[in-house]
Structure formats: C-alpha cells, structure tokens
Amino acid sequence: MHTYIMSLATRWNTLRHSPLPSPGWDGLRFRRTSGELRTMPIILGLALLIMLAVVFGPQWWIRRVLARHGDDRPDFPGTGSELARHLLDQAGLSQVKVERTDAGDHYDPLDHAVCLLPQHHDGRSVAAVAVAVHEVSHALQHARGERAFALRFALVNRLIWIDRIASGILLLAPVVFILVKAPLVLVLQVIAGLLLLTIRVVVHVATLPVELDASFAKALPVLQRGGYLAASDLPAARSVLRAAALTYVAAALATLLDVARWFRMLRF
C-alpha cells in the first residue's frame, strides 16, 4: 500500500511540472478562423460606410452649401427670379421664361424656361442669386448653339429612352427565366440592363464640362463684373456655383446604387 501511494505521488509531481500540451495546427487554425470571423463584420461595416459616403456625401454637401448661403438678405435689391429676368432681357432672350418649380433648379431647353426652386425663385440670398445666374448661363449656352450644350442635350434626350429600356429589361428578366428555363438567358438579360444603367452614369459625368462652364466661365464673371454681389459675398457665391456644377455628378453617384442592387440580384 505504501508503495502504491508513493507511485501516485511521483506521477502527480511529474504531471504538475510537465508543460501543457500544444494545441497543434488544428488549434491554431481555429483561432485564426475565429479572428477572421470577428474581423469580417468590421471590414464590411467600413466598406458600407465608405460606399455611403461616396454616394450620399456629394448630395449632402450640395444641400449644406445651399442651406448655408440661403438666408435672405434685406440688402439685396431683388429676388433670384428678378435677377434671372433682368439678365435674360439684357442678353436679348426675352422669349425665355422664368418659372417656379419643385423639380429642382434647371433650364428646360424644350420649353425655353429657367426653372427655379421656390427658395431661389423668391429668395434674396447668395444662393438664390448664384443659382439663378447659373441657370441663365445654360440659356445662354443654348441660344449660342454651343457644341458641348448641344451634345449634353442630345445625350439627356437619349437617356430617357435608355432608362426605359433598362427598366423594361430588368423587370422582364424573372419572367423570361420562368418561360425559357435557361439561366444563361437570365444572366445575359440582367447584364444588358446593367450596361444600360451604367450609361446613365456616363451621361451624367459627361455633362460636367457644361456645368463648370455655366458656373465659372459665365455666371461668376457676370456676378463679378455686374456688381450684383459685394466682393465679400463672392467666395460664398463661388461655393454655391461649385455645388450647382456638381449636382449631376451627385446624381450619377446615386445611380451607382441601382447598379449595385442589380449586381447583388445577379449574384443570387
């Protein structure tokens, strides 16, 4: 009995002082996989934040700039619409109308109208003045037959039909798949729709030179030479004109969400 107890004590001392067993490659692989699983949501979250910043950041910045410089100024002699009317008449474009709209500030070449949001049509602010002059500049581009504006007008007209065709192809894709039972046909149809949507992005980006010309080659010099704004207000006007020029770029980035959504459907 004494010998058996001594044997147990010896074995216990050996086990207590021996190193712990190594986890081996399986243990290391498990720890690495667990770490990757914990890191993946962080990476996906950062990617989502970056995508949202790229898509919605420009739109947020444009709205912020317009709001920052949108306070009415009692020292301004007229509204945005009154300034637009004055500049159009001065340029010999009395046939071009100035209208209030809720569809965003723009110049309508078909209706020959400068369309301004209520706060810019009726407002007496730096934003109202700068936006009004920017849209009048598009009317000047149209009246002078400038090539870049004509190209943009043609592209935008075709974009309407491109959007309709793309929407039709993408909406009919599931129906065609059910009728034909051929996955390849569905894939080709969705790819065609996505290419048509991508053309919308290209068209919006192609209009950027026209917008920059309207803001900085035409509107800003008019504000500077005509004395419609004080020198202290010109930096704010420059910011508003930059925002007006980048409106279509912001719209193009928003279009990327549609493309990404259809790519996700294609994956599944």
Determine the residue type at 133: V
Q: How far apart are CA 100 and CA 119, in angstroms?
A: 9
DSSP 23-80: -HHHHHHHHHHHHHHHHHHHHHHHHHHHHHHHHHHHHHHHHHHHHHT-S--TT-SS-H
Which residues are paired to 201 by β-bridges?
Answer: none
Provide the token pair at 199: 């053309």
Where in the sequence numbering do the catalytic residues fall? 135
Distances (CA, A) of 253 to 197, 202, 246, 248: 12, 10, 11, 9
Strand order in the sheet with 113-116: 97-100, 113-116, 106-108
Q: How far apart are CA 81 and CA 124, in angstroms?
A: 9
